[in-house]
Structure 1
Amino acid sequence: MSDTPHSGQGEGQEADADAASAGDGKPGKRLSGRAKVILLALLAIVVVVGIVWYLRYESRGKFLQNTNDATIQADAVTVAPKVSGYVAEVMVGDNQDVKAGQPLVRIDPRTYRAQAAQAEAQIAQARASADAARASINEQYATIAQAQAQLDSARIKAAHDAAEVARYQPLAASGAETREQLSQLELAARQSAEAVRVQAAAVAMQRRRVASFAAQLRQGQAQAQGAQAQLASVNVDVGSTLIRAATDGRIGDKTVTVGQFVQAGTRLMSVVPLDKLYVTANFKETQLALMRPGQPATIKVDALDGIELKGQVQSVSPGTGAQFSLIPPQNATGNFTKIVQRVPVRIAIEASPDARRLLVPGLSVTVTVDTIGAKGQLDRLREQQKQLDQRGR
């Protein structure tokens, strides 16, 4: 009899153990009231944050277009000589700041100075030739005056001889004078008339020689002008042997050394105008609908962690970057895969002088443009298109 109670007690304990083991597999604990309040509060916060984010996105966020496909750029000036020659002096070093007009490189000018001296000699020679022609003209005028005087004398003598003939003709007819005397006077008159014609021809010839000397004078003057033009050109070459900076900036990519022979147009170095930096941001074509010049921009430079610079959209490229590549794409070749194109946008940088000194071309940046100023323009475009469609119908 004593075994029966013990047997029942063991079965009860086994049932409790099974229940406990079943409870371990499927916990039956419920959340407390405090835990429910915390979860509801978190859910409310998430809902509120989502609503705030959506409202902010609809009111402003969707108008902020950003891209990290952007770099700082500058319109660097390539320094190249206008003339060929040996480099006599290099006056700047790598990465040196220069001012506009500052000498950079000097090319040996002796060859060009010799050419200038030769041109000056040609000018002197041409001027001497012109002076000689001018003197000949003056001398010719004196010769013409002398010939004219001889012509006048011949005319006076011819008139006298003609008068003598007229006077002796009645006398010879009356027998007061002999026929031989009249014949001699007539011969003298004819000779005097011929002398007048000869002297007149001499005067005409001397006058024509003036035109010849005048042509020589003009030729000498033209030669002098040609030599002066040549001298001016050579003087330009002499001045070009000293290469100066075209703008303020910093020297970069310097490859020239003293003693090097350089050809005209050879790249020697570059001057980077660091005070005229700008950003070229390549936005996707789907981001450009509301982008306009003058819109504000925010610029984050990777090299300046945590610093935001202000900017302004200056212009939008008239074509995608692919269109201005060396080999633009031809989509009509048969194998076509549509990809989102990117369009370069130029953005001016508004930064303090201290910040500008830290910026150099090529740095990576992230640009965000606020296009809210163009809000509603797409709706107006759609309305205009509808009106055009209605007119077409």
Structure 2
Amino acid sequence: MAGSDSADEAESQHSNNADDAHGEGHKQDDGQKPAAPMSPERKRRNAIIGGVVVLVLVVACVLYWLHSRHYETTDDAFIDSNQSQIASQISGRVVELLVADNQHVEKGQPLLRIDQRDYQVKLEQAEAQEANAEAQVAQARADLVYQTATLSQQAAQVRVSQADLTQARQDLARYTGTDPAAITRQQLEQSQASTKSAVARLDSANDAVKAGEAQVASQKTKIDAALAQVRQYQADVDNAKLQLSYSEIRAPQPGKVTRRTVNLGNYVTPGQALLAVVPDDMWVTANFKETQLTNMRVGQPVEITVDAYPDVDLHAHIDSIQRGTGSVFSSLPAENATGNYVKVVQRVPVKIVFDNDDWRHLSLAPGLSVSPRVTVR
């Protein structure tokens, strides 16, 4: 039994040695060699290269930081302008459409015309009423001249009556101072009657003068009323002319026609939006974070890059900084005094104006995205 166990162990050892030899031979057949240890010189060279790379990166980061701290930029910026929304001020049917989409127009150029026949008739009616009122003024002034002349006659009649009264009183005084035997009783009574009649005629003449003066004053009031009526009809004429002028809609400023919603034959009403005119003058509105405004001032130079023209750099400067953040003027401003408060970095609109006319050679339009870089050093 002991001899048999020794034989088995020897056979097993021989089998393992054979397997090891077979494995080594197989590895040698695959061409794999054991890795040689790295030499100290190579380790030193790799360390130097790594150190140089790290140093370059640190220097680059420092230089970038030193450079970038003199500039402020934002992606929240776009081309802006004052668009004119054109609306009708009267109602009517469009009979002429004089512009096309994206057409350039000058200030005062007709854009469209509305049927003006109804407004022409109203103007003619107002002019007729004005002419009638002016005729009434002329008639009232003629009546005033007549009544003034009548008043003059009445005043003259007063003077005649005063003279007759004076004569009658003188005759009565002469008859009264004469010897009663020298005159008859009939003559004395006639003198007394003449005196009373002269007094009555003078009173009547004075009353006529007062009546004439009242008529003259009344006629002057009528003239004033007629003149007021004329001014009223003149206002009606001016209003009719104004309404008639509204039938032709003109461009309020030079620019291009956009958002045209009206067509030939449409019936339009007051306040209805018809089209928009985008002006030739544009600028950039950049919404910077409040933390970027520390060193930002009006007049600082700005470089503008338009996303649509990435290879073109435009020169500009800061024109103004809005007095208030964008959220303050929103439709629903934040109520920070209620509920839980979470601090959010606010943005402030900054108006940037181009320095020259290079931007006019590009097809810029409101809303285009731009990237401004402000030099704040």
SS of residue paired to 1:57 = helix
CA distance in 1, matches of 2:81, 2:348: 18
Q: Retained in 2: the 8 A contact 1:172–1:182?
A: no
Which of 53, 66, 69 in structure 1 is aligned with 2:76?
Answer: 69
Does 2:160 align with 1:117? no
For residues 188-227 of structure 1, the aligned pairs below 5 Å read 188-227=194-233
1:3 is aligned to none
CA distance in 1, matches of 2:340, 2:269: 46
CA distance in 1, matches of 2:350, 2:34: 63
Does 2:241 align with 1:235? yes
For residues 30-45 of structure 1, the aligned pairs below 5 Å read 30=38, 33=41, 37=45, 40-41=48-49, 43-45=51-53
CA separation of 1:148 and 1:48: change in aligned 2, threshold 3 A: same
CA distance in 1, matches of 2:134, 2:266: 40
Does 2:262 align with 1:256? yes
Q: Retained in 2: the 8 A contact 1:82–1:265?
A: yes
Q: Retained in 2: the 8 A contact 1:321–1:342?
A: yes
Which amino acid counterpart does residue 65 of structure 2 have in structure 1? Y
1:377 is aligned to none
User: More deviation in 164-173 or 64-73?
Assistant: 164-173
Which of 142, 147, 151 in structure 1 is aligned with 2:158?
Answer: 151
Which amino acid counterpart does residue 208 of structure 2 have in structure 1? A
CA distance in 1, matches of 2:198, 2:97: 85
Compute the displacement of 1:49 (Å).
4.8
SS of residue paired to 2:345 = coil
2:312 is aligned to 307
For residues 285-300 of structure 1, the aligned pairs below 5 Å read 285-300=290-305
Does 2:113 align with 1:97? no
Compute the displacement of 1:56 (Å).
4.7
Which of 137, 142, 148 in structure 2 is aligned with 1:135?
Answer: 142
CA separation of 1:354 and 1:328: change in aligned 2, threshold 3 A: closer
SS of residue paired to 2:310 = coil
Structure 1 vs Structure 2: percent identity of aligned residues? 35
Compute the displacement of 1:97 (Å).
1.0
CA distance in 1, matches of 2:241, 2:189: 78
CA separation of 1:331 and 1:161: change in aligned 2, threshold 3 A: closer
CA distance in 2, matches of 1:206, 1:92: 67
Q: Deviations over 1:286-325 (max 9, x none)?
A: 2221111211222222211332222222222222222211
Q: How many residues align?
A: 356
Q: Deviations over 1:156-214 (max 9, x none)?
A: 322222222222224452x1222233112211221121111111211221122111111
Compute the displacement of 1:102 (Å).
0.8
2:3 is aligned to none
TM-score by length of 2: 0.85
SS of residue paired to 2:108 = coil
- Computed over aligned residues only, the root mean square deviation of the Cα atoms, in angstroms, reads 2.8
Does 2:184 align with 1:178? yes
CA distance in 2, matches of 1:250, 1:119: 38
CA distance in 2, matches of 1:242, 1:145: 57
Q: Retained in 2: the 8 A contact 1:172–1:178?
A: no
Q: Retained in 2: the 8 A contact 1:295–1:371?
A: yes
CA distance in 2, matches of 1:38, 1:355: 56
Q: Retained in 2: the 8 A contact 1:172–1:179?
A: no
Does 2:56 align with 1:48? yes
CA distance in 2, matches of 1:223, 1:293: 57
1:87 is aligned to 94
Does 2:325 align with 1:320? yes
CA distance in 2, matches of 1:54, 1:347: 30
Q: Deviations over 1:52-76 (max 9, x none)?
A: 4414522x31122211122211111
For residues 370-389 of structure 1, the aligned pairs below 5 Å read 370-372=375-377
1:282 is aligned to 287
Q: Deviations over 1:17-39 (max 9, x none)?
A: 69x99xx7983331585785476
1:379 is aligned to none
TM-score by length of 1: 0.82
Give the helix-richer structure, 1 or 2: 1
SS of residue paired to 1:340 = coil
User: More deviation in 184-193 or 330-339?
Assistant: 330-339
2:11 is aligned to none
Which amino acid counterpart does residue 228 of structure 2 have in structure 1? A
Which amino acid counterpart does residue 344 of structure 2 have in structure 1? I
CA distance in 2, matches of 1:245, 1:261: 20
Segments of 5+ residues of structure 1 without an aligned counterpart are 1-6, 373-393
CA distance in 2, matches of 1:369, 1:318: 19
Which amino acid counterpart does residue 200 of structure 2 have in structure 1? E
1:29 is aligned to 37
